């Protein structure tokens, strides 16, 4: 049985005081929901404050990125060691990083083992762009991104994959639950070929892209979907709580 996971990716939203406020609003209720791993991923600058607030609760912390070197003269970067000090999870290869910060498959392939090495659980994001989807290239693009990101990595214990079609992110146009389930099933088949069947069966694969309180249950009911990476809706306490509650209901 794969424990579902809901991760809130706050992206570049919330000051430190706003982050405190948002966490305080949902802390108690979120803490009490069982059967689901609950992860929040605030901006780096708020991680320490949020860590202090959620300490001792069942809520887990994630970062939105990291650099692949442990220390050194890399002004402005955050290393895996620093992230691992506070966080259990780290988002890697989000499409916004690929699109706006030139993050290539090669860079993603360096970040994944760097995170695993310090005991972090990477949430590896992959997904096709609109023009690729329209050209019928979804399977090809997703397979290629997955295989490049994992090239040369022998052990992927703890890794989580998020299938996030780029055209569904922040657009209000989610994929259909069936489409998402199909692509996630393809990802699982690839993992089975690259590693083995057991690893593939135990691996959690999330869907991301315009998940809200209105469509969460539908996604969670799909056999291959093990949770969600939530952007916009994770910035509203009631929405995020509702998504997590719906997920908990589905697994009961």
Query: Can you give the binding site for ligand PGA, defined by CB under 6 A?
Result: 9, 164, 169-170, 208-211, 229-233
HSE value, Cβ hemisphere, 13 Å, CA-based, for 168: 24
In the complex with ligand PGA, the residue whose CB is nearer, 75 or 102, is 102
Is residue 164 annotated as part of the catalytic site, yes or no?
yes
Minimum CB separation of residue 75 from ligand PGA in Å reads: 27
Minimum CB separation of residue 209 from ligand PGA in Å reads: 5
In the complex with ligand PGA, the residue whose CB is nearer, 93 or 231, is 231
Minimum CB separation of residue 94 from ligand PGA in Å reads: 6
Q: How far, CA to CA in Å, does 152 sit from each of 67, 86, 115, 148, 194?
A: 19, 28, 15, 9, 10
Catalytic residue selected from 96, 103, 128, 164 = 164
Q: How far, CA to CA in Å, does 211 sit from each of 97, 173, 194?
A: 20, 9, 29
Q: How does DSSP classify residue 147?
A: H
Minimum CB separation of residue 168 from ligand PGA in Å reads: 6
In the complex with ligand PGA, the residue whose CB is nearer, 116 or 213, is 213
Q: How far, CA to CA in Å, does 118 sit from each of 23, 67, 70, 107, 224?
A: 26, 12, 9, 17, 28
Is residue 139 annotated as part of the catalytic site, yes or no?
no
SS3 88: coil
Determine the Cα–Cα distance for residues 20 and 3; give it in Å rounded to an integer.
Answer: 27
Q: At what angle do helices 177-194 and 138-150 cross, to 10 degrees?
A: 40
Determine the Cα–Cα distance for residues 52 and 177; give it in Å rounded to an integer.
Answer: 36
Q: How many CB atoms lie within 10 A of CB 198?
A: 9
In the complex with ligand PGA, the residue whose CB is nearer, 80 or 232, is 232
User: Tokens for 109?
Assistant: 């392939």
Catalytic residue selected from 94, 96, 103, 128 = 94
Determine the Cα–Cα distance for residues 234 and 41; give it in Å rounded to an integer.
Answer: 9
Residue nearest ligand PGA, Cβ-based: 231
Minimum CB separation of residue 7 from ligand PGA in Å reads: 8
In the complex with ligand PGA, the residue whose CB is nearer, 199 or 235, is 235
Residues known to be catalytic = 94, 164
């Amino acid at each position: 049985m794969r424990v579902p996971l809901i991760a809130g990716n706050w992206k570049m939203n919330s000051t430190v005081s706003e982050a405190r406020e948002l966490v305080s609003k949902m802390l108690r209720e979120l803490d009490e929901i069982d059967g689901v791993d609950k992860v929040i991923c605030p901006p780096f600058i708020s991680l320490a404050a949020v860590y202090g607030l959620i300490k001792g609760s069942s809520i887990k912390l994630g970062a939105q990125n990291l650099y692949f070197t442990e220390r050194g003269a890399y002004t402005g970067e955050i290393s895996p060691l620093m992230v691992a000090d506070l966080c259990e999870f780290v988002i890697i290869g989000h499409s916004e990083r690929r699109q706006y910060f030139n993050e290539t498959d090669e860079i993603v392939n360096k970040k994944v083992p760097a995170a695993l090495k310090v005991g972090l659980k990477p949430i590896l994001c992959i997904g096709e762009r609109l023009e690729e989807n329209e050209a019928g290239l979804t399977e090809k693009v997703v397979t290629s991104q997955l295989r490049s990101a994992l090239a040369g990595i022998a052990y992927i214990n703890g890794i989580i994959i998020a299938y996030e079609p780029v055209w569904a992110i922040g657009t209000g146009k989610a994929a259909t639950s069936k489409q998402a389930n199909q692509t996630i099933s393809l990802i699982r088949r690839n993992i089975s070929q690259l590693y083995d069947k057991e690893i593939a069966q135990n691996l959690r694969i999330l869907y991301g892209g315009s998940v809200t309180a209105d469509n969460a249950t539908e996604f969670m009911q799909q056999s291959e979907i093990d949770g969600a990476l939530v952007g916009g809706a994770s910035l509203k306490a009631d929405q995020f709580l509702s998504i997590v509650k719906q997920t908990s209901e589905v697994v009961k």
